[in-house]
A and B are shown apart, each in its own frame.
Chain A
Amino acid sequence: MVRIASGQGFWGDDLEAPVRQVRGGRIDYLMLDYLAEVTMSIMQKQRSRNPAAGYARDFAPLMERIFAACVERDIKVVTNAGGVNPAECARAVAEAGRRAGAGGRARIGVVVGDDLMDSLDELIASGHALEHMETGDPLATVRDRVRSANVYLGARPIVTALEGGAQVVVTGRSTDTALTYAAMVREFGWRWDAYDLLASGVVAGHINECGAQATGGNCSAEWWAIPELARVGFPIIEASPDGTFVVTKHDDTGGAVTLRTVKEQLLYEMGDPSTYITPDVTADFTTIRLSGSGRDRVRVHGIRGRAPTPFLKVSVAYSAGYKAVGTLVYAWPDAAEKARAAARILRERLDRLGLAFDRILVELVGWDSTHGHLAGDPPPDLPEVQLRVGVRSGDRGAVERFTREIAPLVLTGPPGVTGFAGGRPRVQEIVAYWPALIDRTVVEPRLAVDFVQV
């Protein structure tokens, strides 16, 4: 049995969680997922300002704290912290390892080849249109604004790195699930056509990839009864060679592992559950069987999978204009009426200035910003409300001017207004996400694993 622990569900997650996973009991693997669709766009922005940036900066300082323990107890660490710059990330981790006294005692495997940026024109010219998966538009329509293009990779290069003796495997845009099932493939020697086994690994990966979301965090089922979230235990997969596994967490940690917490995570970000597509296998989530197996233990079995598609998914980031969001707070009485009146005045001023926006969104935080019309009409005695106005435009100047039109409302609009001390809103460049598919035979020959000595 192999114990694969989840230590991070996104870049910005609980920094102490991976440390608790290493110190709290036996684990064989620690997987750390740092990437979401928006994260790649953010990292790309950072690399464009600094060629040595573009990866999850939290990862190297974390490794400095746990590197020695991982070497001593032979805990393998698998992460996509590399973002759009895995080589620089690995370099930072090697330095952290040396500072932690692991110099000469470990090597880092770096998965490279997922970056398609330099061959994009060549690919488009040879007939790979990279159509947007939702809209069907060819990438050529935004080609001049593309900032990065990375392929979602499966577990094969991670397994190669582990077989090469890597203590730590750093990847770029690996799928979140691969970070978990690569360990199972490596440990159990599963074949790449053992689709039911690989699908089990994918389900285990889906449970691990969002950290505490599987162990009681963000759980809507009687959340008030979930104990001690302050020291919530992140999930651990106890995997067996036959593909069955148990979801659990370390003893003496908070949170809970129940049928409810696991079901909620299984459905998170789910599309068609019968067709969960990954680079290595298409898993069928309608075949999953769950059963309680003691306190904080859920057994998972029965999973079926089938051959993967001929395509890999590409995550393209492209520049899509500018946006800004401004806020003001209105107090009782008639808080909502005042906020709405202020929004009307603001809109009229923007019109008079002749500014063009692709979108203006007015929300009342404290009333309708999350449930829209389902919230009904605000009561006249609503104690307070935050007016939140967002604008989006291809014209940076228009968005810039918008940011200067919020504060004037304090002296030139409805009364009872405050909450402007944060200064003018910031103009943000929108680096948007363009999901596309590419023939896997184009990408697979490019993939490689480099090794960096600590």
Chain B
Amino acid sequence: MPRVRLLELAHARSGDKGNTANVGLIPYDEEHYQILLQEVTADRVKKHFRCLVKGPVERFELDNLHALNFLLHEALDGGGTVSLMTDAQGKVFSTALLRMEIEVPEEVAARVRGQGRVPRPEARSDR
């Protein structure tokens, strides 16, 4: 099966609670929620972030919104005013998650390819 970046399937927002970052992951198309449920497990997200997230990753499912919420524990170098990180408040962990690649059926890949990026003329000619 072809691989696509989450960026092409979903949008995301992240924030912080102390030393924990959260990422909400929302598919552009509600039909793709099932794919995210199956492919974007807490385990795989932990592997994706590796040393960027020192603690465990938890996943919560919001079937009502067709969305997932991830808690990335010990991701912010102490968080808040303690952290030395540029992204001390975890604001762009969302985009880091969207780098992750997952396998999707051919027809889904064909539909979503190029989504999530500013439209560029060369991207259109690829299709």
Ordered nearest first, which 5 A-B pairs have the shortest CB separation?
A: A267-B24, A390-B84, A269-B15, A221-B11, A361-B84
Contact across chains for A290 and B84 when beta carbons are under 8 A apart: no
Interface of A is mostly: mixed
Closest to B52 in A: A372
Asked, given contacts A266-B65, A270-B69, whether A433 binds B18 with beta carbons under 8 Å apart, the answer is: yes
Asked, given contacts A37-B80, A286-B62, whether A220 binds B94 with beta carbons under 8 Å apart, the answer is: yes
User: B103 at interface (Cβ–Cβ under 8 A)?
Assistant: no
Contact across chains for B81 and A431 when beta carbons are under 8 A apart: yes
User: B124 at interface (Cβ–Cβ under 8 A)?
Assistant: no
Q: Inside 8 A of A269's CB, which chain B residues have their CB?
A: 15-17, 22
Contact across chains for B22 and A270 when beta carbons are under 8 A apart: yes
Additional pairs, 13, CB under 8 Å, beyond known A219-B11, A433-B81: A220-B13, A220-B94, A220-B98, A260-B26, A268-B13, A269-B22, A286-B63, A323-B84, A363-B85, A369-B87, A372-B51, A374-B96, A391-B84
Binary B-proximity of A269-294 (CB < 8 A = 1, otherwise 0): 11111100000000001111110000
Contact across chains for B11 and A260 when beta carbons are under 8 A apart: yes
Contact across chains for B51 and A363 when beta carbons are under 8 A apart: no
Report the minimal beta-carbon distance from B25 to chain A, rounded to whole angstroms. Answer: 8
User: B92 at interface (Cβ–Cβ under 8 A)?
Assistant: yes
Binary A-proximity of B88-115 (CB < 8 A = 1, otherwise 0): 0100101110110000000000000000
8 Å CB contact of B28 from A221, A266, A433 = A221
> Using a CB–CB distance below 8 Å, which chain B residues touch chain A?
11-13, 15-20, 22, 24, 26, 28, 48-52, 60-65, 67, 69, 71, 77-82, 84-87, 89, 92, 94-96, 98-99, 118-119
Contact across chains for A41 and B15 when beta carbons are under 8 A apart: no
Could you give 14 example pairs across A and B, Cβ below 8 Å? Answer: A38-B81, A219-B11, A220-B12, A263-B65, A266-B24, A267-B13, A267-B24, A269-B17, A288-B64, A361-B77, A369-B86, A370-B86, A370-B92, A432-B78
> Using a CB–CB distance below 8 Å, which chain A residues touch chain B?
37-38, 41-42, 133-134, 213, 218-222, 224, 260, 263-274, 285-290, 302, 320, 323, 325, 359, 361, 363, 365, 369-374, 388, 390-392, 430-433, 435
Contact across chains for A220 and B15 when beta carbons are under 8 A apart: no
Q: Inside 8 A of A263's CB, which chain B residues have their CB?
A: 24, 26, 65, 67
8 Å CB contact of B69 from A37, A42, A273 = A273
Report the minimal beta-carbon distance from B95 to chain A, rounded to whole angstroms. Answer: 7
Q: Inside 8 A of B50's CB, which chain A residues have their CB?
A: 373
Q: Inside 8 A of A260's CB, which chain B residues have their CB?
A: 11, 26, 28
Q: Inside 8 A of B64's CB, which chain A residues have their CB?
A: 286-289, 302
Report the minimal beta-carbon distance from A415 to chain B, rounded to whole angstroms. Answer: 25
Contact across chains for A264 and B11 when beta carbons are under 8 A apart: yes
Report the minimal beta-carbon distance from B71 to chain A, rounded to whole angstroms. Answer: 7
Q: Inside 8 A of A219's CB, which chain B residues have their CB?
A: 11, 13
In the bound complex, how far is the Cα of B87 from the Cα of A361, in angstroms?
12
Q: Inside 8 A of B77's CB, which chain A residues have their CB?
A: 359, 361
Report the minimal beta-carbon distance from B36 to chain A, rounded to whole angstroms. Answer: 13
Contact across chains for B69 and A433 when beta carbons are under 8 A apart: no
